Structure 1
């Protein structure tokens, strides 16, 4: 049976009013659950009164990570508004497209980001968020007495609470609707699989225009009563110190972040005794890096997700981190999955197919984009992920690659992720990415881009390494060396940029 409550903070203020909900690391300022409930309710009323925001109205924010983001989220969750976090790394024309598409009642903008917003857009300074929240706080009483009926609108489970724009690597960004229902079930799924409690403390350095910043741990923690230490940026040295200072219990990030932590001069001396495990997602964790963390006594849980689903979809139990290295584990509890061929038929264990999802954590669709919504679903509500996976005889799932990244060489399907994994096993390789390129003889062939671990290795030696570990048709045609792989805002390698180099 579905829950009916969308305002979590009202109850959290009763259960644990003095417990820190969010700590802003640059200054140490703390918002308790009582604070967040009180200020969120006050801010919701102020947004309704000053900007006319009603149920379903959009409130945008364009700024680097801040406590104001969290206050706006609290207001939107309470009142049925929709928060639109905008990517501050975009250009002004790109921001203009997102603002025009989402049509917010107001855009709260930091001073640094003001030049990105074109004239004619309803803009307010980011500092106004705190002023609006504090300005109406006096008429609500104490923590747990927020005058919930006075909060404008209210929300239903199927109302949107976040409008999250995808990275747009294949075209214009699409606005994925994230509902209160998704919020609840993602948090429940996450708590069950990760054994979350109100004693958990973690950090958040992910940008808050990205689903990871909101929904990997921040919103699940708000449901379970944990504490999030919010960072303005990812700093591996600072984060390692935080592990001991704040007694962090969970680390998480993309593999690049865990690599930077392991490469920090502070890594060897870091105690990390409070850390239960590290979660990695976005792309597969290289096996050598997993072993580095295992040697430090930190189990690594490979995860998998996407903006439109969850985003916490799969998790590998830490007990299997070595035995099933490279697997994303099993789907979370309240999520159905299938692996299908191009005709939508289930494939057998060991065969590669597209991963599809159905359940309460799946988006209802894309904002004002019925064509994209229709293309994303098939056969009674199954959502197409675009990810190619296989499942072994024990039911563990392995990501093989993206459907659009697969290429055909000599009539054989080649999945770049498999080739990349083989390359990363070579000690001279720090990072690797493979793209399919036209080939006169085979139709397509692989081009490998490698970031060396030290001095560039011999390309011929890397190709020999591939021949020893891969079928001949999977071996790249050539190897090119780069100082760094191009990555997008979510930390994923941008294959389209690599293909343009060939």
Structure 2
């Protein structure tokens, strides 16, 4: 048997070896591995009694919790396909996700049941808290035939495309993701990891929660990535590990400074991982100054994961700007516009493959064909480079490139330069329509009190080539974010464009 294709079996082996060890801390609830396993068995039996058959799709629309984890494991144990849907989805996105995936059953949190009922009226709904499913649909279309491996999970992208993409994954992909991160990050039963990421996202489910559980570590659920809640959980539970997005650590650093927090709060931490967004070295340095722990990186996409991260025993401090090195079993090519490999150190589009490669997009063969090369590589649409030591640098997104007067500008490069200014707490650079140049470079800045925009403009003149410098600087309190906490560049650009149009009319 492939050692990387059975997340349920791996969990049950851990549960049998340390039944009394805390598996999940969810608020005041502490669930041991043995009790979590019993709940998985109970929910599995309930699903089978309700009529779930092999391959039946079961959707979860709920906040992260111990119940979420036991339900996910129970669906897989019963032979079902798990469908994860963000509980914060708008009505249209929720309806799209449920109607397109056609689950035989929806498991919903108490706070989501009304929205689920409004979005999908033909499918039984079970409470994730009480979990008493009585029936399942029997009239849904079967899973796609002729897949290279059986379908195990459908998750939806958190990007800013017109509709979230439904990504089909195998049990091999899920298990390999959890096992690989557990291996590279050296997770053990001594670890207590905070999960403040939605478990509907692979980053929250496989990369962190399952990575912790399959290593016998304790998962600490924090449903909201508010810095006050995170700091309190770290202090209360002496957390050793936390993963988040860039914004998580930027806000934590600000909170720690405002509240005068230090080693008494964060002293147990040994590992901080950021993923999902470009690195903000200035914010990470502020976090390290109060916590004593560097922020390492993880880079991949749900379509092919894991890919790049740091081994903290090899690199306790990150190489500035780098997401780390390739993980075991993953492969990366960097190609030019013609699909040819670029020379070492040059920038190109990243292509990835490995055990975590998706099966494709659910019921969307055209989009699948666009995303995958004929020989099985996923087109990341990220601009990356690899240095001579094997460190990978994510330069930006192909889709984010600003074209000004026919010249390509990477927002990430401009952001990195502006973050070097001491009064810039964070910055996002977008391209807005310009009648003369096609697009103009605009910087939205979260600033420290007293930022002098003219001084920031002078800083840009010293650090950036003329055509890369922003033509406008807009000070904002915060950026709009996606359901996973990443900056929503499309929404930000629309907001800035509206503000500019209003100002022009006035």
Same fold (TM over 0.5): yes
**What aligned pairs does 1:166-245 form with structure 2 within 5 A after superposition?**
166-245=157-236
Match of 1:402 in 2: 397
Please say if 1:340 is aligned against 2:340: no
Partner residue of 1:477 out of 471, 475, 478: 471
Q: How many angstroms does 1:320 deviate by?
A: 4.6
Q: What is the alpha-carbon distance in structure 1 between the residues aligned to residue 193 and residue 148 of structure 2?
A: 27
Match of 1:457 in 2: 452
* CA distance 1:9–1:216, shift in 2 (3 Å): closer
Aligned length: 474
Please say if 1:274 is aligned against 2:274: no
Q: Is the 8 A contact 2:156 2:167 kept in 1?
A: yes
Q: Look up the SS of the partner of 1:449 in the other structure.
A: strand
Q: Look up the SS of the partner of 2:262 in the other structure.
A: coil
TM-score by length of 2: 0.88
* CA distance 1:251–1:177, shift in 2 (3 Å): same
Superposed CA deviations along residues 88-142 of structure 1, whole A, max 9, x for unmatched, are 222323211111111111112233222312233322233332x579xxxxxxxxx
Q: Structure 2 regions of 5+ residues with no counterpart?
A: 135-146, 498-506
Match of 2:143 in 1: none
Superposed CA deviations along residues 297-347 of structure 1, whole A, max 9, x for unmatched, are 21221221222122x321134465656211101111110001111221111
**Root-mean-square deviation over aligned CA pairs:** 2.3
Q: Is the 8 A contact 1:182 1:362 kept in 2?
A: yes
Match of 1:137 in 2: none
Match of 1:136 in 2: none
**What aligned pairs does 1:98-497 form with structure 2 within 5 A after superposition?**
98-117=97-116, 118=118, 119-129=121-131, 158-264=149-255, 265=259, 267-268=261-262, 270-295=264-289, 296-310=291-305, 312-318=306-312, 320=315, 324-458=319-453, 460-497=454-491
Q: How many angstroms does 1:224 deviate by?
A: 1.3
Q: Is the 8 A contact 1:57 1:82 kept in 2?
A: yes
Q: How many angstroms does 1:397 deviate by?
A: 1.3
Superposed CA deviations along residues 460-499 of structure 1, whole A, max 9, x for unmatched, are 3322211211112211222222221111111111111232
Superposed CA deviations along residues 193-220 of structure 1, whole A, max 9, x for unmatched, are 1112222110112122222210221111
Q: What is the alpha-carbon distance in structure 2 between the residues aligned to residue 333 and residue 370 of structure 1?
A: 29
Point out the more displaced range, 117-126 or 335-344. 117-126
* CA distance 1:368–1:403, shift in 2 (3 Å): same
* CA distance 1:235–1:406, shift in 2 (3 Å): closer
TM-score by length of 1: 0.89
Q: What is the alpha-carbon distance in structure 2 between the residues aligned to residue 280 and residue 413 of structure 1?
A: 27
Q: Is the 8 A contact 2:352 2:378 kept in 1?
A: yes
Q: What is the alpha-carbon distance in structure 2 between the residues aligned to residue 408 and residue 94 of structure 1?
A: 30
* CA distance 1:210–1:266, shift in 2 (3 Å): farther
